[in-house]
């Protein structure tokens, strides 16, 4: 089994990087400097024709899409318990949460950050405003879910849903309303940011923002 992760610090690769660390499996990383446009280089496009990160090369075959990679890794490492097994009672909620994050929240984030480049620059303000509403509605929904005091999004243990959710919540840190302004999200973020694998992830990606006051 071999894994090579193509990543950019703090980008959509972050959830996959976190999961690889949490799994404790051997893997290599390759930095893709998206600010310098390295995602459009022909050698990278051969691995991932979308020109986006992450790409995870699994046993020599490149695969993309962060959410799919999380689910695939969970399937390849069922002993990790990072996703409920087929027929487990938490499995339907895990599917629902993963697809909600990937299908509703992640595209709204893309619209927020890339409004001017994915679309017409003249439309960017309206697109961002629409995205902001969708993102805040998602945060509201996640805050309600966590309102019953549960420590993790699905079931009573860490799962791929938490890797994805925390990455997306991190992206709100400079938005008009950051995730941490919702009380249940603040509690959830604070606890997950203290996990050793998340601290290691920040160290490896050279990230210093969005840390707990005293880790």
Ligand X SMILES: N[C@@H](CCC(=O)N[C@@H](CS)C(=O)NCC(=O)O)C(=O)O
Q: How many residues sit in the footprint of ligand X (CB under 6 A)? A: 14
Q: Which of 3, 168, 7 has its CA nearest to residue 102? A: 168
Q: State in angstroms the smallest separation of the CB of 54 from ligand X.
A: 6
Tell me: does residue 55 bind ligand X (CB under 6 A): no
Q: In whole angstroms, how close is the CB of 183 to ligand X at the nearest point?
A: 27
4, 29, 51, 80: residue in contact with ligand X (rule CB under 6 A): 51
Residue closer to ligand X, measured from CB, 123 or 190? 123
Give residue number: closest CB to ligand X.
52
Binding mask 103-122 for ligand X (x = CB under 6 A): ---x---x------------
- Interaction between residue 62 and ligand X (CB under 6 A): no
Contact positions vs ligand X (CB under 6 A): 11-12, 34, 39, 51-54, 64-67, 106, 110
């Amino acid at each position: 089994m071999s894994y090579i992760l193509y990543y950019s610090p703090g980008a959509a690769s972050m959830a996959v990087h976190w999961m690889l660390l949490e799994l404790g499996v051997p893997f290599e990383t390759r930095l893709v400097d998206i600010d310098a446009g390295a995602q459009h280089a022909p050698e990278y496009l051969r691995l991932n024709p979308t020109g986006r990160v992450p790409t995870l090369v699994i046993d020599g075959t490149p695969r993309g899409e962060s959410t799919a990679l999380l689910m695939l890794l969970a399937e390849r490492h069922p002993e990790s318990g990072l996703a409920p097994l087929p027929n487990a009672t938490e499995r339907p909620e895990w599917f629902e949460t993963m697809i909600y994050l990937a299908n509703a929240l992640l595209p709204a984030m893309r619209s927020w950050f890339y409004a001017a480049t994915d679309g017409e620059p003249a439309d960017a303000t309206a697109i961002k405003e629409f995205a902001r509403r969708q993102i805040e509605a998602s945060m509201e929904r996640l805050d309600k879910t966590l309102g019953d005091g549960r420590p993790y999004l699905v079931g009573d243990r860490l799962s791929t849903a938490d890797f994805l959710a925390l990455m997306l919540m991190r992206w709100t840190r400079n938005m008009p309303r950051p995730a941490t302004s919702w009380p249940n999200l603040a509690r959830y973020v604070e606890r997950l940011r203290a996990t050793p694998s998340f601290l290691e992830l920040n160290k490896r990606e050279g990230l210093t923002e969005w840390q707990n006051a005293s880790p």
